[in-house]
Chains A and B, each alone.
Chain A
């Protein structure tokens, strides 16, 4: 038994091994606070952004980390050196562009981190611990597993269409049709296979499932949760007493 457990042991680092519930809470906290709060706590904003970038390093996505960091620097540059000199509609568009990116990007990064650092079975175990109904758990875990598949299929279809020379400039509607339809067809096909595999592995058995993944809160989780509670208190305090 011990050898079996040993071979299952994962080699992700400690940040990637957080409890899935903590990861979801992190995603909600960072995206909500960044999207719907003012810039009055701009230090907090910078900290959260840096934190989300650091999460990318913890799952060894170094090139992505560099890309995101450069994007942020460019945006900050636009904010300080371009926007004051722009006027009218162009200024509006630039403001919106920078604002939306600065507000939403950290949330996406944390979401990406959650998606790529969590195993599906771990995720299911966490959701079962949250006592969600089965009708929600199964679709969500399927979605969870499908995002990477959709990305991969899309990449391949994109190559094929590039080879045929169908791109934005010459066939606009064809471009959408010729990418979306094959994508849907192949994803549905994969989904059918997946559904049979899941049946074979007994997903519809009426008994309570057991799981190899141990899901419990560790020290780091507790620490992060305390920080998040503090952040939420600040957030609500600002919402309620700032009017």
Chain B
């Protein structure tokens, strides 16, 4: 594959900005506490629309990885902790490899690549499960003990694999929605 040109880098910037804004708005809606387990389901669906268009415009390896890296950096700056950067890089890279195997054109590889890429947002919740006691202690200090009790009861340990599965499902649905929107609107508008 040839090197990324400046034009590609600008495309990365534009779509990452759109993705970031769309993700953030969805994230805010999904922040109603008892929706936390479904966050990984809702966000990839809505974000699928810009992302599929992005992939359709991409044909070089590395762009999805860059998007993941920048998302990681952005959320680290916004205070979600350093863990976001490795998550962004790793899942961006894996998603990139999967999409590349289909040449960024084959529908199946795009859908799965997007589903795997969506795992980066598990960086938000993974701390809740790995350093469980410490995390709940911190949350308890700043949100109050009542909050912790409910949060603990709606996120038992087995929800972690469930969240991963939900994210994959959300990614696939998002990719399908994105494809639908793509053929309905973007092709007509001549964006590709």
- The residues of A with any CB-CB pair to B shorter than 8 Å are 24, 27-28, 30-32, 34-40, 89, 91-93, 95-96, 99-100, 103-104, 107-108, 111, 134-136, 138-143, 146-147, 150, 176-177, 180-181, 183-185, 187-188, 191, 194-195, 198-199, 203-204, 243
* Interface residue SS majority, chain B: helix
Interchain Cβ contacts under 8 Å between A and B, 11 examples: A39-B141, A134-B9, A135-B9, A135-B66, A136-B66, A136-B73, A139-B10, A140-B70, A187-B18, A191-B11, A198-B10
List residues of chain B with CB within 8 A of the CB of A195: 6-7, 10-11
Q: Are A28 and B79 in contact (CB under 8 A)?
A: yes
* Interface residue SS majority, chain A: helix
Residue of A nearest to B134 (CB): A243
| Docked complex Cα distance between A194 and B7 (Å) | 10
12 additional contacts, CB 8 Å, given A96-B143, A139-B16?
A24-B77, A36-B81, A38-B137, A103-B142, A134-B9, A135-B62, A142-B14, A146-B17, A147-B17, A183-B18, A188-B191, A198-B6
| Docked complex Cα distance between A39 and B18 (Å) | 34
List residues of chain B with CB within 8 A of the CB of A143: 13, 16-17, 20, 70, 74
| Docked complex Cα distance between A17 and B12 (Å) | 29
Given contacts A143-B70, A187-B18, A198-B6, contact A34 B79 (CB under 8 A): yes
List residues of chain A with CB within 8 A of the CB of B90: none
Q: Are A139 and B142 in contact (CB under 8 A)?
A: no
List residues of chain A with CB within 8 A of the CB of B16: 139, 143
Residue of A nearest to B78 (CB): A31
| Docked complex Cα distance between A52 and B13 (Å) | 28
Q: Judge whether B181 is part of the interface by a CB distance below 8 angstroms.
A: yes
- The residues of B with any CB-CB pair to A shorter than 8 Å are 4-7, 9-14, 16-18, 20-22, 31-34, 46, 49-50, 53, 62, 66, 69-70, 73-74, 76-81, 134, 137-138, 140-144, 146-147, 150, 181, 185-186, 189, 191
Q: Are B77 and A111 in contact (CB under 8 A)?
A: yes
Q: Are A141 and B77 in contact (CB under 8 A)?
A: no
List residues of chain A with CB within 8 A of the CB of B70: 136, 139-140, 143
| Docked complex Cα distance between A36 and B6 (Å) | 37
Which of B50, B69, B138 is the one whose CB lies under 8 Å from A136? B69
For residue A22, give the distance in angstroms from its CB to the closest CB of chain B: 13
For residue B126, give the distance in angstroms from its CB to the closest CB of chain A: 14
Given contacts A37-B142, A39-B141, A139-B9, contact A176 B46 (CB under 8 A): yes
Q: Are A107 and B6 in contact (CB under 8 A)?
A: no
Given contacts A139-B9, A185-B191, A198-B6, contact A95 B17 (CB under 8 A): no
For residue B143, give the distance in angstroms from its CB to the closest CB of chain A: 4
For residue A115, give the distance in angstroms from its CB to the closest CB of chain B: 11
| Docked complex Cα distance between A100 and B78 (Å) | 13
Which of A24, A30, A95, A139 is the one whose CB lies under 8 Å from B143? A95
List residues of chain A with CB within 8 A of the CB of B69: 136
Which of A107, A147, A180 is the one whose CB lies under 8 Å from B78? A107
Which of A28, A40, A138, A198 is the one whose CB lies under 8 Å from B77? A28
Residue of B nearest to A100 (CB): B31
Given contacts A136-B70, A185-B186, contact A39 B77 (CB under 8 A): no
List residues of chain B with CB within 8 A of the CB of A146: 13-14, 17
